[in-house]
Amino acid sequence: MIPIPQYPLYSAAIADLDAVQVNYYLDEDDHWALNIEELRRALTEARTHCNPKVLCAINPGNPTGQVQTKQVIEDVIRFAFEEGLFLLADEVYQDNVYAEGCEFHSFKKVLFEMGAEYSDNLELASFHSISKGYMGECGYRGGYMEVINLDPGVRTELMKLFSIRLCPPVAGQVILAVITNPPQPGEPSYERFRREKQAVLDSLAERARLIEDVFCNIPGFHCNPVQGAMYSFPRIDLPPKAIEAAEEAGHAPDMFFCLKLLEETGICVVPGSGFGQIEGTYHFRMTILPKFEKLNILLNKLKSFYQDFVEQYS
């Protein structure tokens, strides 16, 4: 079971394993919240043709940028426990929380706070990466997985799989060591580490607010607050003639829009159809990583392009 919109690595891995993809939809009208009733709907429908075993949650969200509340995480844990599902917690953006009132809660921490009935029995794997967070070093690769209550036989097979894979490069391993054991108060590098980390996160928060402000003031754009992660995922209105032109070109409407945007402005964004979306809605994912000055220019170009695009196909 994977969220829609989703990070495409999940659908690709499911296809590679010849497994069955079960979609549950995040609630765009409620800041992309994860709704337990939607989980139940997806699970009930899936059980008519398969036997779901795994539930994946991405928090903070990719591509949607939401941060789930502690209550939602408790509800997801309770649901997975009651339904006998292995819970995968993708938490690679846990340091990237920007919106006021939002806070990251790890699934493992919440699980253990819920008591032994859950913490001694629910199978949980949580993931973290050096490529995101305050590092944002997307050229470096490294990460870790922590597994709770894994069946011993499955653990043995998992270790076999790990043993035949290559290690990440040395630089990635060094960064991972810093992520898992950062400088502590009183150590010589602590103050510099703290300042540099906070400066990166403050800058990302500023850019997240800028994108939200601009998109929310473009007629035809519908954008939730960028609560966390590194992306905005706005919904856009596309004229019927643009949808017809996309069909004639053999593209999904949002892909057609993104290709036109790239051709005319040089701005590269990813169409929502690559992540999954409710039928008849159109989105794109845009990163918040460009420097503030460049981001201002980019957003103005995007706004002008969209206005011209709508006029052209109206």
Residue keyed to tokens 């497994």:
19
Q: At residue 254, what is the residue type?
A: D
pLDDT of amino acid 137: 64
Predicted pLDDT at 136: 62
Q: What is the pLDDT of residues 207-234, one digit of tens each?
A: 999 999 999 999 999 999 999 999 999 9
Which domains, from first to last, does the chain contain? 2-180 (3.40.640.10), 190-312 (3.90.1150.10)
98-148 pLDDT tens trace: 998 999 999 999 999 999 999 999 999 999 988 887 776 667 778 889 999
Q: Is the peptide bond before 8 cis (omega within 30 degrees of 0)?
A: no
Token reading at 18: 């010849």
pLDDT of residue 139: 72
CA distance 192 to 308: 47
CA nearest neighbour of 131 among 176, 166, 66, 183: 176
* Residue 176 confidence class, pLDDT cut points 50, 70, 90: confident
DSSP assignments along 128-156, one per residue? EETTSTTT--TTS--EEEEEES--HHHHH
The pTM of the full predicted model, rounded to 2 decimals, is 0.91
* 8 Å CB contact between 205 and 67: no
